[in-house]
């Protein structure tokens, strides 16, 4: 792991811990799963936080939602860009095998 990458990870961890400490309670597993499923099944390629709040089955506190999104980003399930949030996690076992056996080009 390169030095800037590990520094970025430490910075994201501090940001996540800060986000969790600012909310009065941690997100429940049901809430995290609800947000994951909503993002995974979204028809849009990129969705904003406001759009996500509108299509969630239940209302979620803004700080709680931000903490969940930070967690999902750290676990490489979503990508956050200027255009919005995109689900990037792929659990296809064939794809995982291909990536493990594949050759890295430089």
12-19 average pLDDT score: 71
Residue-level pLDDT at 77:
94
- How many distinct structural domains can be found in the chain? 1
Residue 94 lies in a domain: yes
- The pLDDT tens digits of the residues spanning 31-86 come to 999 999 999 999 888 999 999 999 999 999 999 999 999 999 999 999 999 999 99
CATH of the domain at 91: 1.10.10
Q: Are the C-beta atoms of 69 and 85 separated by less than 8 Å? A: yes
Contacts of 81 (CB under 8 A, 6+ apart): 46
Residue-level pLDDT at 25:
67
pTM: 0.69
Q: Are the C-beta atoms of 51 and 44 separated by less than 8 Å? A: yes
Residue 106 lies in a domain: no
Which range marks the domain in which residue 52 is found?
A: 3-101
Is residue 15 over pLDDT 60? Answer: yes
> In which residue are the tokens 């430490």 written?
10
Q: What is the b/e burial string over 9-48, where b = at least 16 CB atoms within 10 angstroms of the residue's CB?
A: eeeeeeeeeebbeeeeeebeeebbebbbebbeebeeeebe
For residues 1 and 33, which has the higher predicted lDDT (pLDDT)? Answer: 33
* CB-CB neighbours of 67 under 10 Å: 24
> How would residue 8 be classed by pLDDT, with cut points 50, 70 and 90?
confident
Residue 64 lies in a domain: yes
Is residue 4 over pLDDT 70? Answer: no
Residue 10 lies in a domain: yes
């Amino acid at each position: 792991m390169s030095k800037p990458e590990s520094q970025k990870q430490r910075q994201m961890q501090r940001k996540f811990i800060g986000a969790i400490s600012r909310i009065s309670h941690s997100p429940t597993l049901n809430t995290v799963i609800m947000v994951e499923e909503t993002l995974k099944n979204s028809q849009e390629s990129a969705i904003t936080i406001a759009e996500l709040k509108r299509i969630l089955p239940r209302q979620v506190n803004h700080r709680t939602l931000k903490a969940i999104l930070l967690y999902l980003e750290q676990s490489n399930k979503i990508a956050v860009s200027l255009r919005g949030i995109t689900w990037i996690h792929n659990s296809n076992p064939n794809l995982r095998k291909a990536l493990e056996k594949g050759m890295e080009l430089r």
